[in-house]
Structure 1
Amino acid sequence: MEKKRVIFFLFDHVHLMDLAGAVTVFYEAGCCGHPYELRYVSPYTAPGSSSGLGFTRVEPLDAVSVQSDDIVIVAGMDLSKWDHSNDGTWIPWIQHAAAAGATVCSVCTAAFALAVAGLLDGRNCTTHWGYTTALQQHFPKLQVIENRLFVKSDNIYTSAGISTGIDLALFLVEEHYGPTFAYMVAKDMVIYIRRDGTASQHSIHLQHRQHINHQIHEVQDYITHHLHTKLIITELATMVHMSSRNLTRLFKSTTGTTIGNYIRDLREEKAMQLLKDGQKLAWVAKTCGIGSTRQLGQLARKTGIQAKMA
């Protein structure tokens, strides 16, 4: 099987975590059974890190011809030391990568590089919370979104910064090999994965968990593991030390959906998965906290699933 290729683009004064987090995800994917070919390129002959560590075995840009099935990840750098003398070299290269259909990603402040190259014009995007305002002000054609782990816009991905490069890399691995494998990689790295390990690519889990509010993550985790119980907003609010009104407002602004709709959608999604696996209607309704087997049966028929009655 031909390895998928990930090309890491290094600016001088690159932030180590922005680079190493994503690198480790793809390295560990290989340890777990799906190896990637990892390449490192730079427009600079001897790029170094913002913390003073230098790099060897970094290839020049013209040594790698980007293909449509490649992933290009541009790691964040110290913007105060960004040398623009090589812009005429790397901008055409990154533009070609995007035009070729490759998946082009930025971690943290590297969103500024994608913006300079014109790749983010008219797109939703994000960067480190400390730079979102500056990114929007310097590039008014962008639609900068705050409080998101990462943002996907066609084949262009931007992540919030530092450790969120790990979340983005896990998402890419999940797109290639499925959520169960991505969960295995996260577990191997001994990190907390913000998505349920059984969620599909278009799952309700993924649609509403790409944010960085730890209190809402805690509520979402609790809901996911207690769908079979009666979930009461006042109890959820007490769990994260806030009022019901505050939680309701914060949940909606953070996730884009209400708590009630989130619970309903999770229950229905899990129920459909279990029914597809051949589980009986009454057991599925009880397991997912859906009070009426009739209601569940109607939902199954609407989605074309043949439900087992007994």
Structure 2
Amino acid sequence: MEKKVKTRVFFIVPPEVHLLDVSGPIQVFYEASEYGAKVELVFLAIDGNDSINSSAGIGLNKLEPFRNHTLNENDFIFIPGLDARLVFDEAFKGSLKPFFEWLQIQKNNGAKICSVCTGAYLLAYSGVLKNMECTTHWKYTGDFKKRFPETTIHEDRLFVKDGSIYSSAGISSGIDLALFIIEELFGPFFATKIAKEIVIFLRRTEDDPQLSVFLQYRNHIENRIHKVQDHLAQHLSNKQKIEDLADLVFMSPRNLTRLFKKTTGITIGEYHDKLRVERAVQLLSNGQKVNAVSDLCGLSSNQLRSLLKKYSDILPSTLS
């Protein structure tokens, strides 16, 4: 975790908010702060009230006026979903004109804007989604297309990133999006810690934004395999023997090999290779020499070249 500048995350709390849309991402960033990340959480009212009732009936209070804050490129705004009755209410939409104008200003200031579920409608109403790509809850993608033809809506996606705009499909995908942002800010090791802390399965499809391999194959709760994965990721420069890995989790090499494949879907060797490839790509992209990179990945120069050639179909074009 190298980021030293404080990240402020502003959560917009509209009336009739869906609780998990807002509380899920809040928990992710809260845990990140508990683990030492420089994250500040701020809760803003979308109207003039400092308290609201959620769609489930639970009240939320001590909300600050959005007008009191000016954001910059280090800040994020999360806009959660809210009851559809309000989303499509013209009077409610009209009352939010000051908020929409404020949102445009923050976008121009460089702030990153994130939506969860039907929160995408508020982004679209404000104009920040014009000529952008996004997603929303599957029930509303058809309607969204008709209302906002200048925005490309993606179906069957957990979340979409387009420049400084992030959107997610809703409910638990807001948590997936928050973890993705944590990875962007603080790196894959740190994001893995947070995912494990909140016991979240990292669900991804082939069309989702590609996560680091350091986060892939972690959608399980088998602690012994997590421990082996952590060890491999944190000791890439060292040679790894199956016997040593097995001793680490008090298993026989045969049982560890079998359990790893059953749990992750790939072998220990394949997983180790993928870790090395991603690390090598990062280092080479930063201008490191092949000899130095191979040492950091626990390989000879020839072994590294062979490994990169084997995975040439997934490498960036500049390295393949």
Please, what TM-score do these two structures have when normalized by structure 1?
Answer: 0.69
Q: Which residue of 2 aligns with 1:137?
A: 146
**Aligned pairs (5 A) from 1:241-256:** none
Using the TM superposition, give the Cα deviation of residue 40 of structure 1 relative to its aligned residue in structure 2, in angstroms: 0.8
Q: Which residue of 2 aligns with 1:71?
A: 76
Gap change, CA 1:206 and 1:148, over 3 Å in 2: farther
Q: Which residue of 2 aligns with 1:226?
A: 267
1:121 aligns with 2:121: no
Q: Distance in 1 between matches of 2:156 and 2:199?
A: 24
Query: Residue 280 of structure 1 aligns to which amino acid in structure 2?
Result: L
SS in structure 2 opposite 1:119?
A: coil
Q: Which residue of 1 aligns with 2:12?
A: 9
SS in structure 2 opposite 1:131?
A: helix
Using the TM superposition, give the Cα deviation of residue 202 of structure 1 relative to its aligned residue in structure 2, in angstroms: 7.0
1:51 aligns with 2:30: no
Using the TM superposition, give the Cα deviation of residue 68 of structure 1 relative to its aligned residue in structure 2, in angstroms: 2.2
Total equivalences in the alignment: 246
Using the TM superposition, give the Cα deviation of residue 203 of structure 1 relative to its aligned residue in structure 2, in angstroms: 5.8
For residues 109-159 of structure 1, the C-alpha deviation after alignment (integer angstroms, 9 at most, x for no partner) is 000111111111111110111111111111111111111111011100001
**Aligned pairs (5 A) from 1:57-206:** 57-82=62-87, 83-194=92-203, 205=213
Using the TM superposition, give the Cα deviation of residue 207 of structure 1 relative to its aligned residue in structure 2, in angstroms: 12
**Aligned pairs (5 A) from 1:26-41:** 26-41=29-44
Query: After the TM superposition, which parts of structure 1 deviate over 4 Å for at least 4 consecutive aligned residues?
Result: 201-209, 265-268, 297-300
Q: Which residue of 2 aligns with 1:280?
A: 299
Q: Distance in 1 between matches of 2:29 and 2:57?
A: 24
SS in structure 2 opposite 1:8?
A: strand
SS in structure 2 opposite 1:122?
A: coil
1:24 aligns with 2:27: yes
**Aligned pairs (5 A) from 1:291-302:** 295-296=306-307
Q: Distance in 1 between matches of 2:305 and 2:147?
A: 55
**Unpaired runs of 5+ in structure 2?**
218-260, 282-292
**Preserved CA contact (<8 Å) 1:14 1:76:** yes
Using the TM superposition, give the Cα deviation of residue 84 of structure 1 relative to its aligned residue in structure 2, in angstroms: 2.0
Query: Identity of aligned pairs, percent?
Result: 34
**Preserved CA contact (<8 Å) 1:42 1:60:** yes
Query: Residue 78 of structure 2 aligns to which amino acid in structure 1?
Result: I
**Preserved CA contact (<8 Å) 1:18 1:161:** yes
Gap change, CA 1:183 and 1:294, over 3 Å in 2: closer
SS in structure 2 opposite 1:158?
A: strand
SS in structure 2 opposite 1:130?
A: helix
Q: Distance in 2 between matches of 1:270 and 1:227?
A: 16
**Preserved CA contact (<8 Å) 2:279 2:297:** no
SS in structure 1 opposite 2:74?
A: coil
Gap change, CA 1:67 and 1:280, over 3 Å in 2: closer
For residues 41-77 of structure 1, the C-alpha deviation after alignment (integer angstroms, 9 at most, x for no partner) is 1232132211111111101111112222111110111
Q: Which residue of 2 aligns with 1:252?
A: none
**Unpaired runs of 5+ in structure 1?**
196-200, 210-218, 230-262, 286-292, 304-310
Using the TM superposition, give the Cα deviation of residue 296 of structure 1 relative to its aligned residue in structure 2, in angstroms: 3.7
**Preserved CA contact (<8 Å) 2:277 2:308:** no
Q: Which residue of 2 aligns with 1:235?
A: none
